[in-house]
Structure 1
Amino acid sequence: MKQMITSILFATDLSANSTHALRHAASIAQATGAEIHVLHVNQPISDDAKITMEMFILNEETRRTATERRHEMVRKILAERQANFWARFEGDDAKIRDQVTSIEVTDGHPAEVILRRSQEMGCDLIVLGAHDHGFSHTFLGTVAKRVLRRSKIPTLIVPHPTDDE
């Protein structure tokens, strides 16, 4: 008996390859009727960045506002990329966008958040793009490796597209 895919977590790092990975998530969602949850995880601000902010932004309220603006900028970029991606679809294919049931931007360590949110949302599949390919064309990226190694559900790592794709 086949396991049904009803809920897909698409994790994006906002790279060029993430659009390629979303194409695969959308195709699977269209074929299965699954809902798509889009997730972007901001890496925590490094201690060096925090010290720099404290040195140059003396007002605590201003520092907090700067951190909030970081989220706003990521949400804006994500919204623009989503709009551009879905604008290319026509007819019945355009209806796939209705299967996107949530778009979330949060802070944390990406692999841990991806794994936790996939479990909390009851997802059946995680889809994310491999990082840019290196010299050996096998470079997955740290986040993809960690998710793949620890995931308890099927995980699709979409390779970086070739130049002719």
Structure 2
Amino acid sequence: MYDDILVPTDGSPGTDRIVEHAAALADQHGSTLHLLYVVNTASFANLPMESSYEGIASMLEQEGETALDDAAETIERVAPDVTVERAIREGSPAPEIVSYATESGCDLITMGTHGRGGINRLLLGSVAERVVRKSPVPVLTVRVGEIPDESDE
């Protein structure tokens, strides 16, 4: 059913849970897992002009390599026979995730959501929510972190 599964990662806590779920699914279906890290260039807008774009971009790309390495190690532990492809892109995360999924012919995007509700979601936004709204590819979300109280909604 799934030949290619995309797992966007930012290396944050809880990522292992998403990667483990995607790896088990890929193992069941004989799928290739695509690991993607997006260097969020929108975050550069607030930097002082004297900051070195190259230095910051290099640092963020290294952060991405580390996140991809961590995800690949998790896959190796959970499903060692699964084929893994890795990519780093620059841009705004949600559009880059959707673009990569469609360009690579992915059948599924598996990504985490913190399950924030109410004002927290409005203030913080949600990459997962934007991907779900814009993607022609099905999106499986895996909750990471604490489940909010109903009073948070």
Alignment TM class, shorter chain as reference: 0.7 to 0.9
Counterpart contact for 1:42–1:105, Cα < 8 Å: yes
**Corresponding position: 1:149 with 2:128:** no
Distance, in Å, in 1 between the alignment partners of 2:66 and 2:35 is 14
Which residue pairs with 1:20 in the alignment? Answer: 17
Moved over 6 A (4+): none
Please list, as runs of the form range in 1=range in 2, the aligned pairs for 1:36-115 lying within 5 A after superposition. Answer: 36-44=33-41, 45-49=43-47, 52=48, 54-55=49-50, 57=51, 63-79=53-69, 81-82=70-71, 84-86=73-75, 88-89=77-78, 93-96=79-82, 99-100=83-84, 102-115=85-98
Which residue pairs with 2:113 in the alignment? Answer: 130
Q: Determine which structure has the larger strand proportion and give its number.
A: 2
For structure 2, the residue ranges without an aligned partner over 5 or more in a row are 148-153
- SS of aligned partner of 2:64: helix
1:12-55: CA deviation from partner (whole Å, max 9, x where unpaired):
12112221111111111011101110001121133221xx2x33
The Cα RMSD (Å) is 2.6
- Among all aligned residue pairs of Structure 1 and Structure 2, give the percentage whose two residues are the same amino acid: 29
- Alpha-carbon deviation of 1:83? 5.1
Deviates most, 139-148 or 4-13: 139-148
Counterpart contact for 1:130–1:141, Cα < 8 Å: no
Distance, in Å, in 2 between the alignment partners of 1:141 and 1:23 is 25
Which residue pairs with 2:100 in the alignment? Answer: 117
Which residue pairs with 2:2 in the alignment? Answer: 5
